[in-house]
Amino acid sequence: MGDRPLEGKTPLKAAEKPNMDEISREGINGIMDVISPGIVPGSDTAHLHLLGYGHEKYYPGRGVFEALGAGIELRSGDVAFRANFATVDDRMTIKDRRAGRKGSKELEKAIDGMMIDNIKIIFRNTTEHRCVVVMRPLEDALSARVSDVDPHAEGEKIQKCRPLNGGTEEIKTSKAVNEFVKRSYEILSEHPVNRERIERGEAPANIVILRGAGKYVKVEEIEERWGFGGACVAGASLYKGVAKFIGMEVLKVEGATGRADTDLKAKADAAIDALKRKEFVFIHVKATDNFGHDGDFEGKTEMISRIDSQLIGRIMDHASADYIVLTADHSTPVSIRRHSADPVPVAIAGEGVRKDDVEDFDEFSAAHGGMCRIRGKDLLPILSDLMGYYRMYGV
């Protein structure tokens, strides 16, 4: 949600957002470096910090979050990758990194369950061309320290997966990845689904390219760490994956898409319902970030107003919650169309907070608030103290 000013205004300053402003007015405000000042957070590391897990210790690699977000039950030692259905020519040059943005359950089935030596392959086609590959070692351990197969650009050849340092586990893993890619090509290029696509003049999904390896290790769950369990309401799989990674319940919400067309009312209702049985509900809306990446000031501004009325207002009217925390996982300024390190505003309302004089929820007003400047990983400890789940250090 955070941004840099254009002619003095950010989307947050420009938006109509009476409900967000009410949270600021009733609560305590501040600005927050989600990781630390000047450090640009990725969406995954940002959420780890916001949920009280420093990425230095807990970041498992993006593939793990995507696999968990896709609903795969990982076991310690599994190595997970983000993957795409892609289109290559017979010289292994990428024609379309996204294979016409189309997925296929039949193609998924043709690959899922494959065995490579003693490694079991779990393969899911999640949305459109996006896939997840999990390598489950039945004997010797694998490593996530291997390079990407995906060249991240069209017209480039697919890359050989290489061990980053050269240990036994890395060599074994990179060999398995290369074998997987080769076999995916063999299976997919002959598959009837692709023959039909070619006949219709479409790009065949004739290979699977991998990136973002991550090794799953079970971590201390949120309830153990902060005293309360929680549920997650999100559209995009990454956020669900982070939530699952730390032991939160991931709610299925019909219409939550992670795009601007997401059903904000359905997300609000899922949260309101979850709050009847969970002490902590985390709600994520992705679309403001997308508008930032697109450089669309108006779109981002309107999205913020929609979030205010359809999501936040609804929650404030119907949920029974002692505390409400409003913040962003990072800034994505429309002027630069990428994540930035600009701190995000944060407001906490509820019993006992030191209400300050801030009247608007935006990047500028928040800097005058009573919380001054905190870090992302301070947020859950502050909340756990307010909720009474503190641990005292010493006596």
Write out the residues near a copy of itself by the rule CB under 8 A.
4-5, 8, 30-31, 35-46, 55, 59, 62, 212, 333, 335-336, 339-342, 352-356, 363-364, 367-375, 378-385, 388, 390-395
Torsion angle in degrees (nearest 10) through CA of 65, 67, 73, 74 = -70
Smaller CB separation from a copy of itself, 173 or 340: 340
Q: Quote the CA–CA distance of 119 and 139 in Å, as a whole number.
A: 8
Q: Which residue is it, tokens 């760490």? A: 225
Nearest-angstrom CA–CA distance, 12 and 300: 9
Spatial contact of 219 and 245, defined as CB atoms under 8 Å apart = yes
Nearer to a copy of itself, 103 or 212 (CB): 212
Minimum distance from residue 327 beta carbon to a copy of itself (Å): 14
Question: Which lies closer to a copy of itself via its Cβ, residue 266 or residue 336?
Answer: 336
Please, which residue, 187 or 336, has the CB nearer to a copy of itself? 336
- Shortest approach of a copy of itself to residue 277 CB, angstroms? 25
CB of 282 to a copy of itself, least distance (A): 17
- Residues ≥6 apart with Cβ < 8 Å to 230: 222, 223, 243, 248, 249, 278, 279, 280, 281, 282
Minimum distance of a copy of itself from residue 354's CB (angstroms): 6
Least distance between a copy of itself and beta carbon 49 (Å)? 9
Closer residue to a copy of itself (CB): 287 or 371 = 371
Q: What tokens does 318 get?
A: 């119907």
**Cβ proximity to a copy of itself, 69 vs 204, nearer residue:** 69
Structure tokens at 390: 């503190």
Please, what is the minimum distance in Å from the beta carbon of residue 8 to a copy of itself? 7
CB of 31 to a copy of itself, least distance (A): 6
Look up residue 150 and give its two tokens.
């995906």
Q: Where are the alpha helices (DSSP H) in 246-354?
A: 264-274, 287-294, 297-306, 313-318
Dmax over CA atoms of the chain, in Å, equals 75
Nearest approach, Cβ of residue 183 and a copy of itself (Å): 27
Q: Nearer Cβ to a copy of itself, position 212 or 299? A: 212
For 181, which DSSP code?
Answer: H
The C-alpha angle 251, 253, 254, rounded to 5 degrees, equals 155
Q: Which is nearer to a copy of itself, 231 or 371 (CB)?
A: 371
**Torsions phi, psi of 208, nearest 5?**
-115, 125
Which residue shows structure tokens 């956020």?
Answer: 239
